[in-house]
Every structure is written in C-alpha cells, then in structure tokens.
C-alpha cells in the first residue's frame, strides 16, 4: 500500500468513526448521526465535579429539616449548627443508587415519557402568576379558567409530552394554590404532569390527590404520573420544606426533579463554570438526602440556572448564557448517568413578538442538541411571570424544528442520489419520482398553518394574519376540538371528595374551573 492510498484509507476510517460516534444509530436500514452539543471538555468537567465535591466537604450546605439532618448524619455527613458537610464516599454512594432512567405514565397507565432516554421531551413552563389576555394582548392575573384553557391547548399539541401546573390561579386561596392547580391539570389532561408543591404539607395532599386519581399508593408508585420539582435556595441551602419534600417523594416512589437555580453574578459565582460548580454541589446535596431516604427512588438532575443582568437586576431566561448554563449543567448530570431537566424556551419579552421567537427558538435547539431529558418553560414570557396559550402554540413549532434538527441527516438506500439521477438525468423532474412521494414526509417536518409558507398573494387571501393571530386561531381550534379524557367514576368521586374538603378548609365554597 502506497503512502497516498494509506493516507486516504486512514482518513476514510476516521470519517467513518466520526459518523458512527456518539449518538450514531441505524433506523430501518438508514444510518444517521444524532447531533450533540457539549460545552465542557473532559478536563473542565472533572474540575467542576471535583470543586463541587470539595465545596460540599469543606464549606458544606445548610440543611434545615431535622429529618434530613438526621438522615445525612446517619450516612456519614458531619452536621453541626444546621450545616452539613458531605464526605465524597457518601455522595458517590447516592449517585450509585440513583436510577439512570424511568418513565412517567399517562392517565391510562401507559408509559408516556422516558426520562434518561435519547429523546428530549418538552412541557409548558410552570407557576406563572399572570396570563397574556388573547383579546387585549395585555397581562392580567391568571384565573382558573385560564389554566383550563392552557391545559386544553397543550393537550392537543404533540410537541408537549407532558403538562405542567402552569399557573397559580388568582382566585384560589394561597394555602391550597399548588394543590388546586394540580387538581385542574389532572381533571382535564391525560398526559403526565410536571408539578411542584409550595410546602411539605401540600406535598402530602398532592400525593393523596395523585393516589385518588390513579387508584392508590401502590399504583402511583408502580406507574407515577407526575414528577415534582424541588428547589434548593441558592447558595447551598436546602430549606425545611424542600428537604422534607425530597424525603416524602423518595419514600412514596414518586419522581423528584432537583431544580437548582443559581443566578450567575448574584446568588452564584459570575463565571459560567463557577455557577455550574454551585449547581452541581446543590444537586449532589439534594441527591444525597433523596437517595439515602430511599435508595433507587426515581430522581432527575434538573435545574433552572440563569445569569444576572447587571443593567436591569433581572434574571434573563432568554439569554444565550442561560441556555449555555442549562446545557452545561445537563452535561454534568449525564456524566453521572442521570436523567436531566432544564428550564428553556421561556422569553423575557412582554408580548409574543420577534424577541420571544428568537429566544425560544435558540433555546429549544440548544436543549435538544444538549440531550436534556425534559425541557420546561414553553409558553412563558416576562421572566417566567406570564403565560400565553398563543405563545405555547408558536413554541410547539420551534420545538418541532429543534427535534427535526436533532434527528440529524440519514443515508437512505444504496445510493444517496445516483439512483434518482439515473432516472431523471439533468431534467430536474424529481417531483415525479416515487422516492419523492415516499420519503418527503420523513425528510421534512411539515409545520401547522401557524407557520406561514404561502405566497404573498396566498397570505393576503387568507386574511394577512400575523403570527399571533394565526396562533390565536389555532388555540381556539384546539379548545373547540378538546374532549376531556375519561376517568373511572369512583376515581373522579375520590378526587372531588378530597378537593372539596381542602377547599372548604380554606373557605372556598365552589371549585372554580370545573
């Protein structure tokens, strides 16, 4: 073999290994490479992990819940004056028992969302206090009817694998605000739910509601329909409520999503790498509480990291650095073999405009390429304070674009183009080929009419609607077509009994939204 031939073969070999690298797969005889984005090289990843473990061992984390303190002390931590210091073997033991993947189930009991698989799933953002009124396009406090409409819209959009407890309803007393939004979502949706409690007391009530809906504690443990976000307070504080909730969820076998929220430059180091160190430490501390409460219980390496805008004092969720932080934090979680979560696709715009589209589209693509298991935030505006069903509709298209990109380019058939050229020559008549008819739906994502691809004349003939008006029409159509998923009468009765008792306890005489 001459040097020139050997060089060509070696280059072909390297190219082939590149094509078949991480994420390469065969589907029905077609070869494809799933594109990925990683922001941390191996050395930086090791430094982040090492500094986080050192931080927990030397500085420690504040842990307020007495039950969590006792649990950590029993498994090797040093706890004094509310500060827990974690030895590395204890953290490694928790990582060793955390499962690499699990499923959330739909109302019918079928697996619907795989955490830790190849696919990135999306759900609407949660806990908005305002809604963008579709008639006035102005913000106002969110009501139960607004949450019901948003759930009905999300139910009809396949881009959302799960629902979320998206709004805090203004007319519901604060004591049961978290429980009531879960009740409405369970009542109107058949999809899995991403939720969270505002206190340990309502965590218990929300678990009881889920048990009523699925037929008991054993059924909920076997086929959990919900995952609970549980957030540490930055920097390095696991509050009384959060620590208790982690223990409750772990022992109930209901998945917990640890959502660390470092704010780079304000409540976390200003450098992106430093903020990822803090995120890693906060997640590891939560993981230690969770896994030592119930080894093997399902848990997610989640987060909503962001930067701090030094000009406005806000936390821009649409900033490109926020997307980078989510990707980097997810990479750390994947390096531990854990399912991941991120908070992306929210916008800092106050209305559904070009800024909202720019920020959402870039974030959705980043999240898919980073391989994040569940991505929350779609539909949100104004630093996560406001929800819009119309933005949720538009975001579904951005998500579909990103997921199409994430599937990569496949090599179909024995030749890529030669066989087709053999039949068309240079005529350009590819529209006549059988392959074109058979394959274009697999090659191309076909958006809904919300995305305008008509000619100028066609657009004018259709009413010359802008993107918001088209999304409004689509949202109204989804609501008109919505049918509530069936639920066994005895389970409906159990849910209503529980909810009416909780409502009466806080002076609520009706169940708004039902």
408-437 tens-digit pLDDT: 999 998 899 999 999 999 999 999 999 999
Once rounded to an integer, what is the mean pLDDT over residues 165-180?
A: 98
44 strand-pairing partners: none
**Nearest-CA neighbor of 172 among 497, 501, 507?**
507
The mean predicted confidence, pLDDT, of the chain is 94
Once rounded to an integer, what is the mean pLDDT over residues 431-454?
A: 96
Q: Tokens for 160, please give them.
A: 């959302």
**Sole residue written with tokens 């959060």:** 242
Q: How many Cβ atoms from other residues are within 10 Å of residue 103's Cβ?
A: 18
**Nearest-CA neighbor of 102 among 331, 301, 245, 279?**
301
What's the confidence (pLDDT) of residue 16?
A: 34
Q: Which secondary-structure segment (H or E) carries 354?
A: helix 354-369
**Sole residue written with tokens 């989804």:** 478
Once rounded to an integer, what is the mean pLDDT over residues 170-189?
A: 98
Predicted confidence band at 162 (pLDDT cuts at 50, 70, 90)?
very high
Q: How far from 74 is each of 29, 87, 142, 282, CA to CA, in Å?
A: 53, 12, 45, 20
What's the confidence (pLDDT) of residue 200?
A: 86
Q: Tokens for 127, please give them.
A: 């806990």
Instruction: Give burial (CB, 10 Å; 0-12/13-18/19+) of 247.
Output: buried
Query: Among the residues of 408-463, which ranges form H helices?
Result: 418-424, 434-443, 456-461
Indicate whether 332 pLDDT > 50: yes
Predicted confidence band at 34 (pLDDT cuts at 50, 70, 90)?
confident
Once rounded to an integer, what is the mean pLDDT over residues 253-282?
A: 98
Indicate whether 23 pLDDT > 70: no
Indicate whether 333 pLDDT > 90: yes
Give the torsion sign (CA, 189, 190, 191, 193).
positive
Is there a contact between 442 and 29 (Cβ–Cβ < 8 Å)?
no
Predicted confidence band at 30 (pLDDT cuts at 50, 70, 90)?
low
Q: Tokens for 147, please give them.
A: 């949450």
Q: How far from 356 is each of 125, 142, 427, CA to CA, in Å?
A: 14, 20, 43
Residues 208 and 65: their CA atoms lie apart, in Å, by 22
Q: Reduced to 3 states, what is the DSSP secondary structure of residue 287? A: helix
Q: What is the pTM of this model?
A: 0.93
Indicate whether 43 pLDDT > 60: yes
**Sole residue written with tokens 């076909």:** 446
Q: Say which residues have a Cβ less than 8 Å from residue 483's Cβ, sequence separation at least 6.
A: none
Indicate whether 174 pLDDT > 60: yes
Q: Encode pLDDT of 294-307 as tens digits.
A: 999 999 999 999 99
Is there a contact between 498 and 212 (Cβ–Cβ < 8 Å)?
yes
Indicate whether 33 pLDDT > 50: yes
**Sole residue written with tokens 């028992």:** 97
What's the confidence (pLDDT) of residue 172?
A: 98
Indicate whether 70 pLDDT > 60: yes
Indicate whether 28 pLDDT > 90: no
Residues 251 and 215: their CA atoms lie apart, in Å, by 18
Q: Tokens for 348, please give them.
A: 């800092």
Q: How far from 430 is each of 227, 231, 409, 411, 425, CA to CA, in Å?
A: 48, 54, 19, 18, 10
Q: Reduced to 3 states, what is the DSSP secondary structure of residue 9? A: helix
């Amino acid at each position: 073999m001459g040097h020139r031939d050997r060089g060509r073969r070696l280059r072909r070999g390297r190219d082939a290994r590149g094509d078949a690298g991480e994420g390469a797969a065969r589907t029905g005889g077609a070869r494809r490479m799933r594109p990925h984005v990683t922001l941390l090289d191996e050395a930086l990843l090791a430094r982040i992990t090492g500094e986080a473990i050192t931080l927990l061992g030397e500085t420690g984390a504040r842990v307020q819940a007495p039950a969590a303190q006792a649990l950590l002390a029993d498994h090797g931590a040093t706890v004094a004056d509310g500060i827990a210091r974690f030895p590395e073997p204890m953290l490694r033991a928790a990582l060793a028992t955390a499962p690499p993947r699990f499923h959330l189930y739909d109302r019918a009991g079928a697996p619907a969302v795989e955490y830790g698989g190849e696919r990135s799933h999306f759900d609407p953002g949660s806990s908005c206090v305002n809604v963008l009124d579709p008639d006035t396009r102005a913000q106002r406090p969110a009501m139960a009817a607004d949450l019901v409409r948003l759930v009905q819209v999300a139910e009809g959009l396949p881009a959302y694998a799960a629902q979320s407890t998206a709004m805090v309803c203004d007319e519901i007393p604060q004591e049961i605000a978290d429980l009531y939004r879960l009740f409405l979502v369970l009542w109107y949706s058949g999809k899995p739910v991403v939720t969270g409690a505002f206190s340990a007391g309502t965590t218990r009530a929300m678990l009881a509601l889920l048990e009523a809906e699925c037929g008991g504690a054993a059924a909920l443990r076997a086929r959990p329909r919900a995952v609970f976000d549980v957030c540490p307070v930055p920097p390095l504080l696991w509050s009384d409520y959060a620590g208790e909730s982690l223990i409750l969820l772990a022992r109930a076998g209901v998945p917990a999503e640890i959502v660390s929220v470092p704010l780079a430059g304000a409540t976390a180091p200003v450098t992106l790498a430093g903020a990822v160190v803090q995120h890693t430490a906060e997640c590891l501390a939560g993981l230690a509480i969770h896994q030592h409460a119930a080894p093997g219980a399902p848990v997610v390496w989640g987060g909503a990291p962001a930067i701090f805008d030094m000009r406005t004092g806000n936390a821009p969720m649409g900033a490109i650095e926020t997307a980078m932080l989510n990707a980097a934090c997810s990479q750390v979680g994947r390096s531990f073999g854990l399912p991941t979560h991120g908070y992306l696709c929210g916008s800092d715009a106050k209305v559904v405009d070009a800024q909202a589209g720019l920020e959402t589209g870039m974030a959705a693509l980043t999240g898919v390429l980073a391989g994040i298991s569940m991505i929350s935030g779609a539909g949100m505006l104004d630093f996560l304070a406001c929800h819009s069903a119309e933005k949720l509709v538009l975001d579904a298209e951005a998500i579909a674009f990103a997921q199409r990109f994430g599937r990569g380019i496949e090599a179909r058939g024995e030749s890529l183009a030669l066989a087709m050229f053999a039949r068309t020559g240079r005529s350009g008549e590819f529209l006549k080929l059988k392959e074109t008819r058979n394959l274009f739906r697999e090659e191309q994502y076909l958006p809904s009419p919300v995305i305008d691809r008509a000619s100028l004349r066609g657009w004018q003939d259709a009413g010359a609607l802008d993107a918001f008006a088209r999304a409004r029409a689509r949202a109204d159509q989804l609501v008109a077509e919505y049918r509530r998923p069936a639920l066994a009468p005895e389970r409906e009765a159990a849910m209503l009994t529980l909810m009416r008792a909780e409502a009466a306890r806080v002076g609520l005489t009706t169940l708004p939204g039902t």
